[in-house]
């Protein structure tokens, strides 16, 4: 008897906990935009908080994917928009992985920063062996084809990357410089401006975060390009070392902003000698906070991008012997002190759990039953002639692996394009299924799974969700 009652009480407590947990998830999803995530805080400030994304992990690692979607409002391809990936053989373009990233970003309402068109590294062998007019033509073809392909989807490009050496501000002795002479930099910008006049055009490099010979050289190059109307922004990679944020970083960024440029911290990470310690993590948090504050204090700072998600995702250990742990998330996806520091610098608050007073809590309170799911269509943009909706699936107490959604249009609406779902229509009934990589929704979790552009009057019809 006693045993039965105890068990039943535990069972009831379990249900109560589950319902409370579900309400918590719903609330945090609803109010995430307030201040509790990096992207919520950055959205409120009107700046980008970006992350370098590995497309393989995006497709295969749900923890990774969820952090990218939840915490960041901008993405940069860590590798898949580099020339060796996009044009492995002369004239043969391979946009598959980059397109996957762009589709993911669109589905999650994120901007895409383009990295990178002209670089001495991660370029295919064929182009490294060219010179003169042939090389110049290849440079133009690459810039034009790539920027055309992503026009409207990629808002800014690192047109040239790392063109100044570490030797006293001299231009880097790359195959581009050897094959084309100094004018290749201006040429690259001219080709880029022609290809997509609406994209912001950037130069980008490391070890130019403070004032030094290398950043002085960039300042000179920037003046020249600004005078020709060819440059819009300066990217500071900020691959930094623990405790060594340059003392004059704000003045340095300010002088580029004073040229009329946007400035952006493009590849932030702060590495340390391994093994790391709690004390080093605290120092790292201060360093991150300082860098992000430098950006938020500058009206012309377009944002900060961190170069990877978890410490285990970072390029640092592969390149800097004995160093690592340079990012915001631990290997298991939990948040490091540096995360809270960045959130703080963005004006967010990790402890904010209750909704602001003047808003009503969401009314969806019935969690789906075990093994079941619910789904919701949310109109996120409406420009009269069309509208965009994002669609999310919520799992019950069991994780969902595969979903099929159906709904009826109330008054003749239709879908003009969609991403990340298999859609079929019969009369006014729409059926949408997962496309594999977005099939999974964790127990009790809500996940934005796909999106579409609708025509007709925007609508949020109720949706039936079938799991499995
Ligand atoms: C790095 C990537 O993180 C690695 O995965 C890859 O193996 C090498 O390139 N400066 C840049 C980035 O502009 O493209 C580099 O990214 C890091 C340094």
pLDDT in tens, 408-454: 999 999 998 777 789 999 999 999 999 887 898 988 888 889 888 88
Counting Cα atoms < 13 Å in the Cβ hemisphere of 284 gives 27
Query: Of 8-22, 123-137, 158-172, 415-429, which range is least confident?
Result: 8-22
The atom of ligand 1 lying closest to the CA of 158 is: 13
Q: Is the CB of 76 under 6 A from ligand 1?
A: no
Residue 315 CB less than 6 A away from ligand 1:
yes
* Average pLDDT of the segment spanning 108-136: 98
**Ligand 1 contact, 78 CB (< 6 A):** yes
* Ligand 1 contacts CB of residue 236 (under 6 A): no
pLDDT mean over 222-242: 98
Residues 303-343 have pLDDT tens digits of 999 999 999 999 999 999 999 999 999 999 999 999 999 99
pLDDT given at position 21: 42
Domain that holds residue 434: 373-467
Note whether residue 61 is domain-resident.
yes
Domain finish residue from 345, 364, 392: 345
Residue 389 confidence (pLDDT): 87
Residue 94 CB–ligand 1 contact under 6 Å:
no
Number of domains in the chain: 2
223 and 96 in a common domain:
yes
Asked if residue 303 and residue 250 are part of one domain, the reply reads yes
- 101/167 same-domain check: yes
Same domain, 286 and 381: no
Residue 279 tokens read as: 């004390």
432: CATH: 2.60.40.290
Kindly report, residue by residue over 146-166, the tens digit of the pLDDT.
999 999 999 999 999 999 999
Q: What separation in Å is there between the alpha carbon of 190 and the centre of ligand 1?
A: 25
Distance of CA 172 to the CA centre of its chain: 29
pTM for the model:
0.73
If you measure from the C-alpha of residue 142 to the centroid of ligand 1, how many angstroms do you get, rounded to a whole number?
20
Say how many Å lie between the CA of residue 144 and the centre of ligand 1: 23
For the packed helices 278-296 and 337-345, what is the interaxial angle rounded to 10 degrees? 20
pLDDT given for residue 14 in this prediction: 41
Would you say residue 356 lies in a domain? no
State the catalytic residue, choosing from 71, 78, 84, 267.
267
Identify whether 362 is part of a domain: no
Distance of CA 207 to the CA centre of its chain: 23
> For residue 448, what pLDDT is reported?
84
At which residue do the structure tokens 């022609």 appear? 194
If you measure from the C-alpha of residue 315 to the centroid of ligand 1, how many angstroms do you get, rounded to a whole number?
Answer: 7
Residue 355 belongs to some domain of the structure: no
Spacing, Cα 179 to ligand 1 middle (Å):
24
Question: Considering 304, 329, 345, which residue would you say is the last residue of a domain?
Answer: 345
Q: Which helix (H) or strand (E) holds 91?
A: none
Q: What share of the chain in percent tops pLDDT 70?
A: 88
Asked if residue 31 has its Cβ within 6 Å of ligand 1, the reply is no
397 plus 295 within the same structural domain: no
Does residue 398 register a pLDDT over 70?
A: yes
Using pLDDT thresholds of 50, 70 and 90, give the confidence band for residue 261. very high
| One domain for residues 236 and 307 | yes
Q: Determine, yes or no, domain membership for 360.
A: no
Cβ(467)–Cβ(402) under 8 Å? yes
Instruction: State which ligand 1 atom lies nearest to the alpha carbon of 161.
Output: 13
The per-residue pLDDT for 371 is 75
Interatomic CA distance for residues 69 and 418, integer angstroms: 18
Residue 20 has pLDDT above 90, yes or no: no
Among candidates 246, 216, 247, which has minimal Cα distance to 234? 216
Look at 370 and 80; give whichever has higher pLDDT. Answer: 80
Is 358 inside a domain boundary? Answer: no
Task: Give the whole-angstrom CA distance, residue 100 versus residue 116.
Answer: 17
Examine the domain organization and report whether 396 and 268 are in the same domain: no
Higher local confidence (pLDDT), 86 or 15: 86
Count of C-beta atoms within a 10 Å radius of residue 23: 15
Check if 79 has its Cβ closer than 6 Å to any atom of ligand 1.
yes
Q: Residue 457 CB: number of other CB atoms within 10 A?
A: 12
One domain for residues 318 and 379: no
Of 71, 162, 289, 448, which one is the catalytic site residue? 162
- Within a 10 A sphere around the Cβ of 101, how many other Cβ atoms? 25
Instruction: Report the distance separating Cα 190 and Cα 123, nearest Å.
Output: 20
Residues 387 and 302 placed together within one structural domain of the fold: no
- pLDDT at 16 exceeding the cut of 70: no
Distance from the alpha carbon of residue 83 to the mean position of ligand 1, in angstroms: 13
Nearest CA to ligand 1 atom 16: 78
Dmax over CA atoms of the chain, in Å, equals 90
Average pLDDT of every residue of the chain? 89
**What does the pLDDT read at residue 454?**
86
pLDDT at 29 over 80: no
Q: How far apart are CA 430 and CA 451, in angstroms?
A: 13
Does the Cβ of 202 fall within 6 Å of ligand 1? no
Q: Give the confidence band of 349 by pLDDT, cuts at 50, 70, 90.
A: confident
Measured in Å, residue 78 CA sits from the centre of ligand 1 at 6
Residues 227 and 338 in one domain: yes
Closest Cα to atom 4 of ligand 1: 315
Residue 205 forms part of a structural domain: yes
Active site residue 128: no
Mean pLDDT, to the nearest integer, of 27-56? 81
Ligand 1, residue 206: give the atom nearest the CA.
10
Residue with tokens 């204090």: 297
Q: Residue 445: CB within 6 Å of ligand 1?
A: no
- pLDDT at 5 exceeding the cut of 90: no
Q: What is the pLDDT of residue 275?
A: 98
Residue 366 lies inside a defined structural domain of this protein = no
Residue 357 has pLDDT above 70, yes or no: no
Q: Across the strands, what pairs with 401?
A: 440
pLDDT of residue 445: 86
* Judgement on whether residues 405 and 306 belong to the same structural domain of the protein: no
CATH label of the domain that carries residue 195: 3.20.20.80
Q: Say whether both 335 and 408 belong to one domain.
A: no
User: Residue 376 forms beta bridges with which residues?
Assistant: 392
CA 79 / ligand 1 centre spacing (Å): 7
Q: Which of 267, 308, 312, 316 best tests ligand 1's pocket when mutated (most atoms within 8 Å of CB)?
A: 267
Let me know if 352 is a catalytic residue: no
């Amino acid at each position: 008897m006693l045993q039965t009652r105890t068990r039943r009480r535990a069972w009831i407590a379990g249900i109560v906990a589950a319902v409370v947990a579900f309400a918590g998830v719903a609330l945090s999803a609803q109010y995430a935009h307030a201040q509790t995530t990096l992207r919520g805080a950055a959205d409120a400030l009107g700046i980008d908080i970006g992350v370098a994304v590995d497309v393989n992990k995006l497709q295969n690692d749900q923890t990774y994917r969820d952090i990218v979607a939840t915490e960041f409002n901008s993405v940069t391809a860590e590798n898949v928009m580099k020339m060796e990936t996009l044009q492995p053989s002369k004239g043969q373009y391979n946009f598959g992985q980059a397109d996957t990233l762009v589709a993911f970003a669109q589905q999650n309402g994120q901007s895409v920063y383009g990295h990178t068109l002209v670089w001495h590294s991660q370029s295919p062998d064929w182009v490294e062996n060219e010179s003169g007019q042939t090389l110049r033509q290849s440079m133009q073809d690459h810039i034009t084809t790539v920027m055309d392909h992503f026009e409207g989807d990629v808002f800014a490009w690192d047109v040239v990357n790392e063109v100044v050496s570490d030797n006293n501000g001299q231009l880097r002795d790359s195959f581009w410089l050897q094959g084309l002479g100094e004018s290749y930099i201006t040429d690259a910008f001219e080709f880029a401006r022609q290809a997509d006049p609406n994209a912001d055009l950037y130069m980008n490099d490391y070890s130019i975060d403070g004032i030094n010979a290398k950043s002085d050289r960039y300042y000179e190059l920037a003046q020249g390009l600004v005078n020709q109307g060819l440059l819009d922004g300066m990217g500071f990679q900020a691959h930094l070392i623990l405790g060594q944020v340059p003392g004059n970083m704000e003045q340095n960024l300010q002088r580029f902003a004073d040229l009329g440029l946007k400035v952006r911290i493009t590849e932030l990470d702060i590495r340390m000698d391994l093994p790391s310690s709690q004390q080093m993590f605290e120092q790292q948090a201060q360093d991150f906070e300082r860098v992000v504050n430098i950006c938020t204090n500058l009206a012309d700072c377009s944002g900060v991008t961190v170069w990877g998600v978890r410490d285990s995702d970072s390029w640092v250990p592969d390149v800097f012997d004995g160093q690592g742990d340079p990012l915001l998330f631990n290997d298991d996806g939990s948040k490091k002190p540096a995360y809270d520091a960045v959130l703080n610098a963005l004006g967010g608050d990790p402890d904010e759990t209750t909704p602001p007073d003047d808003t009503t809590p969401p009314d969806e309170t019935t969690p789906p039953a075990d093994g079941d799911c619910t789904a919701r269509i949310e109109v996120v943009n409406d420009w009269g002639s069309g509208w965009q909706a994002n669609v999310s699936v919520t799992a019950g107490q069991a994780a969902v692996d595969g979903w099929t959604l159906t709904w009826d249009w109330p008054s003749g609406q239709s879908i003009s394009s969609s991403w990340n779902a298999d859609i079929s229509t019969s009369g006014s009934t729409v059926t949408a299924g997962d496309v594999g990589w977005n099939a999974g929704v964790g127990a009790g979790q809500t996940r934005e799974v796909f999106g579409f552009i609708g025509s007709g009057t925007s609508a949020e019809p109720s949706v039936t969700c079938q799991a499995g």
